[in-house]
Amino acid sequence: MRAIFEALPLDKETTFRFFEIDQAGGFDGHWHYHPELELKWVIDGVGQRMVGDHMEAFGPSDLILVGSNLSHCWRTAPDFNGSSRAYVLQFPRQAIYGRPELRAIEKMLIESSRGLSFRISGQATADRLKLAFDRLKGAKAGTWESYASWLSLLGELTELPRTLLASEEFSPREPQDDRLAKVIDLIFESAERPMEEGLFAEACKLASMTPSAFSRFFKRHTGRTFSRFLNQARISRASRLLVESEQNVLAISLECGFGSLSHFNRVFAELKGDSPGQWRRKFRAA
């Protein structure tokens, strides 16, 4: 059984924790939360991420700041064959607050309660960020060089355009049991397999609830019905395949679990505001 709460190994000798992930098996999609804020910069890998109630595809240069106690996960796509790599920075929310010189950083951290996505536009910006991460990576933990590199990186982030992820109605809270995490795992797995019958019944069984009790439980914790949440997971994967693969729209709709092209087109337009064809043309022209 996967626990939702994750206790991070921060100690009294350092203000923050910085490390690099390099996983041949990919990011595992473990849906969890912790009191510490987390900055994650994906170097290699593609798949889906979920921050609060926001779900979308990710790829290289995906840069996300997750707020305190905001549930999140990254799950590598099954068709990605390389190693999934990312830089991760974790630190307590009180580490910045109350310093007048750091007001811009503090404002950004407050906004991160809903999760923030940073837009990296241009090679110069990407190079500047890489240099900031490299300085932090090269500094010895617990030294003033390391602390200065950490503040410098956060300062760089305040200069980047950023987008809020979770909806305004979503409020971070600490789930008290593992049932929702297990159902979320099931949904992500189902988004990577062809359409199958009985998924709702399987989720009810997994949560040990009757259908009506499970429906109330799921909507209370996610703000969405089971079917809408499942559709969002599938459309998130489809949006990535439309941009990165040469498959036609029908093949993608079937691969992402939709029984008919018309249903796929309708749900895609509802969630993304464009038809699948329009989405593909827009991103390939960018």
Give the domain ranges of the chain. Answer: 17-164, 179-285
* CATH of span 179-285: 1.10.10.60
Beta carbons within 8 Å of 77's beta carbon, 6+ residues apart: 26, 46, 47, 48, 192, 237, 240
- Report the relative pairing of strands 84-91 and 37-44 from DSSP bridges: antiparallel
pTM for the whole structure: 0.74
Q: What is the pLDDT of residue 28?
A: 76
Domain 17-164 = CATH 2.60.120.280: yes
* Under-70 pLDDT residues of the chain: 1-12, 171-178, 192-197, 285-286
Residue 19 confidence (pLDDT): 92
Tokens found for residue 71: 């549930």
Give the per-residue pLDDT at 195: 57
What pLDDT does residue 286 have?
57
pLDDT at 3: 33
Note the pLDDT of residue 62. 96
* pLDDT at site 136: 94
What pLDDT does 1 receive?
A: 27
Task: Determine the Cα–Cα distance for residues 76 and 96; give it in Å rounded to an integer.
Answer: 32
